[in-house]
Amino acid sequence: MSTESAPSEASAPEADSERTKEISLDEFEPYGTLAVTGSYFVLLLVLYALLYFVEFAAHAPHIIE
Amino acid sequence: MTFVNHYPKAARIVKANFIVAFVALAIGGFFGLIQALHRTDVFRGFVSSVEYYDVLTGHGVLLALVFTTFFITGLYQWGVTRTMEREPENSTFSWAWFLMMLVGTTMTATAILGGLVPGSGMSAAVLYTFYPPLQAHPLFYIGAALLVVGSWLAGADWFWTYRKWRTDNPDARIPLQTYMVIFTWLMWYLCSLGVALEVVVLLIPWSLGIVAKIDPLLPRTLFWYFGHAVVYFWLLPAYFVWYSILPKLSGGRLFSDPLARIVFIFFLLLSTPIGYHHQYADPGISLVYKMWALIMTLVILLPSLMTAFTVISSMEHGARQRGGSGYFAWMGALPWGRPAFVGCALAGIMFAAGGFSGMVNASLNIDMLVHNTAWIPGHFHLTVGTATALTFMAITYWLLPQLTGKELKFKGLALAQPYTWFIGMTLMSNALHRQGLAGVPRRVSEPEYAGINYEVPFGTMAEMNWQVAIGGIILFVALIFFLVVVGGTFWAGTPATNVDDTIPPPLSGPEHSPEILDNLKLWMGVAVVLVLIAYTLPLAEMVMDGLFSPGAFPSPV
Amino acid sequence: MHVHRFEKLWIGLSLFLIAAFIGIVLFGFTVMDLKVPGIEEGRQVDPTTVLSDEKFSKPGVRKISDDHYEVYMIAQQFIFRPGSTQPLTIPANTKITFHMTAPDVMHGFEVPGSGLNATIIPGQIATFSTRFPEAKTYGIICHQYCGAAHHNMQGEIEVVPPSEFDESNLISQ
């Protein structure tokens, strides 16, 4: 991606002014992302199993062959 | 100084594409409102239950094909121009593909809307999937073909720019935005070939009466060769925004450029050879290929799950730079007062839910429970109807000042719009999903049947109908908000002084990835091989007994 | 290439999820007999002449054995034959094999809230077998848009206890 070139005319976007610190690649530990995606993982497994075995498999008739 | 000043020619092309996209969005969105009220029997005064199918065709074609395609060509023109840092090579050529797409769209829309005008002698109530032997007016098919071929030329335009750039930069890595454009379009060429063959070789001659009969299975299979990959054609431009712009809107930087590239390679390889999963309930498709589709479709979860991690972590990076902390509390530090950010973030949340219902659809036998029920529109209104559409609307708020040099008008309305959309879609989509579990079919003007008592798993049928109707109304209100903001900015915006158009470099850049990721010929080659494995035998079987046989006579609608 | 250890963990979890879903589906398919419509080998039909086909010219229920009946059904704009003008009557807890086709356009076959679901395509025969566990009335809906009166295309399956099943209405071979 073209790294932005001309800060002089590109102005100071609002997002920058609210930034309180710079976090570099080596410092950044995405614990929050792990928590969010981990929760999503559990939710997917539980919902999928519920839908498959309770909503679908328990409601006959089915195609058996 | 911003995009419109640096690249005035490209800016005009982008704006023209966006205007067509938003006109289609306005009409298609209004049709959606009519359907939500009609289906649920809240109000059936707009159209008859027969005309409902004309409106439904208009809704599907104008939103899923026209709004998306024009917005995507506009967005990608912007991305290519800004990262290649050059104007289109030949403006006449750029306007030619735009006009070709526009003429095609007008023809198709005329055929569809003709069905609502008594005595027009035209109609095309074949729905967005246009399965023969249902037959539309020839204009419908010819227009659709022009739209697709026009989009091919748009891609050629960007490859032209890329080749020029490559001559000047023989050793540079492809900038990420152009990389995503290229991979989306390689996939688009590969998959839209199927629908182009279907329309040009089979449907146009048949609709003109040159051949009398048609074999319904062959065009249906060609449609789904295209019809699943097309959902990634809608989704990848949203990923383009989430990877390349959303981290910045969150106050952070993209966590990993190499993983973004790998994700796009996955989509090029796997999007097309899985179309059979729309044909799990079909006769005429062998179980071997249904199993293949099951496995490949679930494997394609991987690039989307990887995207979830990279995009969320990039947002977390922004949140932590803005002072956020904790496992979940950091989300509160995100800029929930900025429309472009809010729209993309809410679109992402809805995509997580739509991802789940998509996993169910993909799963071969459980699909028998939901196939062609209201569950399916419940699903894709979360994906294309929100992940894609809401992202497009949100990023428009960020792009318009760059394209027009004007301040965004009605910022309060712009901020309310994504929240409103989110509420409306939550109501409508959860109810559609649950109706689908009860067996309520999709694509029907009167889903109440005299002899049928739907057994509703939770809630009541009346409650779900009200959620669909009220959700539809709220979505329409959100659409009006969007149109007012865009129209206001175009016609009454005041000149912008400080346009926010910068994108910081990724935390981990392309220099951390092997160069093989940028080898276009290699990946396109693998993609073609996978398609040949998936489709050669079944298509050969369908063609060998005669292109148009076993044939059925047309049934004009 | 820089891939954070959390991201490696997530990719691992994602692969596990994919494997788990494939595993559940295959378990259901093989062990629990949750299947999908298949191909009737070598049985394409000409939609323009199917109404005079040996079997489809007399749609209805045929007996194969005491525990196995088969149903030939025509779906056409905008009725199921049998099913729409009179209910399709079949015995409970008995294997029923459906063969369905259409002479005009595509139709759908859906028993709401169940796992019975098929696309009916002119030129092809949709085939599957099932057992109805309960003696009660089930609905049939055409879930594939088939034209102006699509929303009127519905039918009924009347499932009766095997002892009460009247064999006098069977179609003789």
Residue ranges per structural domain of chain A? 30-65
pLDDT of amino acid A3? 43
Q: Do residues C162 and C92 make contact, with C-beta atoms less than 8 angstroms apart?
A: yes
Predicted TM-score of the model (pTM) = 0.96
- Angle CA(C129)–CA(C133)–CA(C136) in degrees, nearest 5? 110
For chain C, percent of residues with pLDDT exceeding 70: 97
Chain B neighbors of C36, CB-CB under 8 A: 280-281, 287, 290, 364-365, 367-368
Instruction: Using the predicted structure, report yes or no on whether residue A15 has a pLDDT greater than 60.
Output: no
Residue A52: DSSP 8-state: I
Q: Is the dihedral of CA B267, B272, B273, B277 positive or negative?
A: positive
Ranges of residues in chain B with a pLDDT under 70 are none
Beta carbons within 8 Å of B210's beta carbon, 6+ residues apart = none
Same domain for C108 and C57, yes or no, is: yes
- Is B285 at the interface with chain C, CB within 8 A? yes
Same domain for C80 and C144, yes or no, is: yes
pLDDT of amino acid A5? 39
Same domain for C66 and C9, yes or no, is: no
What's the pLDDT tens digit per position in C107-126? 999 999 999 999 999 999 99
What is the extent of the structural domain holding C15? 1-34
pLDDT of amino acid B458? 82
Q: Confidence band (pLDDT; 50, 70, 90) for C42?
A: low
3-state secondary structure at position C69: strand
- Is B338 at the interface with chain A, CB within 8 A? yes
Q: How far is CA A42 from CA A51, B311, B432, in A?
A: 14, 19, 24
Q: Confidence band (pLDDT; 50, 70, 90) for A4?
A: very low
- Is C35 at the interface with chain A, CB within 8 A? yes
3-state secondary structure at position B374: coil
pLDDT of amino acid B264? 98
pLDDT of amino acid A20? 80
User: Does the beta-carbon distance from C7 to B313 stay under 8 Å?
Assistant: yes
Same domain for C96 and C25, yes or no, is: no
Q: Please count the other Cβ atoms lying within 10 Å of the Cβ belonging to residue B556.
A: 14
pLDDT of amino acid A2? 42
Instruction: Using the predicted structure, report yes or no on whether residue C43 has a pLDDT greater than 80.
Output: no
Q: How far is CA B261 from CA B267, B303, B506, in A?
A: 10, 10, 13
Q: Confidence band (pLDDT; 50, 70, 90) for C2?
A: confident
The CATH number for C138's domain is 2.60.40.420
- Is B90 at the interface with chain C, CB within 8 A? no
Residue C124 lies in a domain: yes
Residue C42 lies in a domain: no
The domain tally of chain C equals 2
Q: Confidence band (pLDDT; 50, 70, 90) for C44?
A: confident
pLDDT of amino acid B360? 97
Residue C115 lies in a domain: yes
Instruction: Using the predicted structure, report yes or no on whether residue A8 has a pLDDT greater than 70.
Output: no
- Angle CA(B72)–CA(B76)–CA(B79) in degrees, nearest 5? 145
Q: Do residues B509 and B257 make contact, with C-beta atoms less than 8 angstroms apart?
A: yes
- Is B251 at the interface with chain A, CB within 8 A? yes
pLDDT of amino acid A1? 40
Same domain for C104 and C138, yes or no, is: yes
Chain C neighbors of B302, CB-CB under 8 A: 11, 14-15, 18
Q: Based on the number of CB atoms within 10 Å of its own CB, is A45 exposed (0-12), middle (13-18) or buried (19 or more)?
A: middle
Q: Based on the number of CB atoms within 10 Å of its own CB, is B23 exposed (0-12), middle (13-18) or buried (19 or more)?
A: middle
pLDDT of amino acid B394? 98
Among A4-13, B479-488, C38-47, name the most confident range. B479-488
C residues 27-66 near B, CB within 8 Å?
28-29, 34-40, 44-48
Q: Is B183 a catalytic residue?
A: no
Q: Confidence band (pLDDT; 50, 70, 90) for A11?
A: very low
User: Does the beta-carbon distance from A48 to B330 stay under 8 Å?
Assistant: no
What's the pLDDT tens digit per position in C50-81? 999 999 999 999 999 999 999 999 999 999 99
Residue C76 lies in a domain: yes
Same domain for C157 and C85, yes or no, is: yes
pLDDT of amino acid B520? 96
Marked catalytic residue, from B443, B476, B481, B535: B443
User: Does the beta-carbon distance from B50 to C139 stay under 8 Å?
Assistant: no
Q: Based on the number of CB atoms within 10 Å of its own CB, is C158 exposed (0-12), middle (13-18) or buried (19 or more)?
A: middle
Same domain for C75 and C105, yes or no, is: yes
User: By C-alpha distance, which of B74, C28, B176 is closest to A64?
Assistant: C28
Q: Do residues C131 and C96 make contact, with C-beta atoms less than 8 angstroms apart?
A: yes
Same domain for C94 and C159, yes or no, is: yes
Q: Confidence band (pLDDT; 50, 70, 90) for A17?
A: low
- Supply the DSSP string of C3-33, one letter for each residue: --HHHHHHHHHHHHHHHHHHHHHHHHHHTS-
Q: Compare CB distances from A30 to B316, B437, B506 and report the shortest one's residue.
A: B316
Q: Compare CB distances from A32 to B251, B330, B501 and report the shortest one's residue.
A: B330
Same domain for C77 and C120, yes or no, is: yes
Q: Is B82 a catalytic residue?
A: no
Greater confidence (B453 vs C142) lies with C142
User: Does the beta-carbon distance from A56 to C34 stay under 8 Å?
Assistant: yes
B457: tokens are: 């798993």
Instruction: Using the predicted structure, report yes or no on whether residue A65 has a pLDDT greater than 80.
Output: yes
Residue C27 lies in a domain: yes
Task: State how far Cα B416 lies from the chain centre.
Answer: 23
ipTM of this predicted structure: 0.96
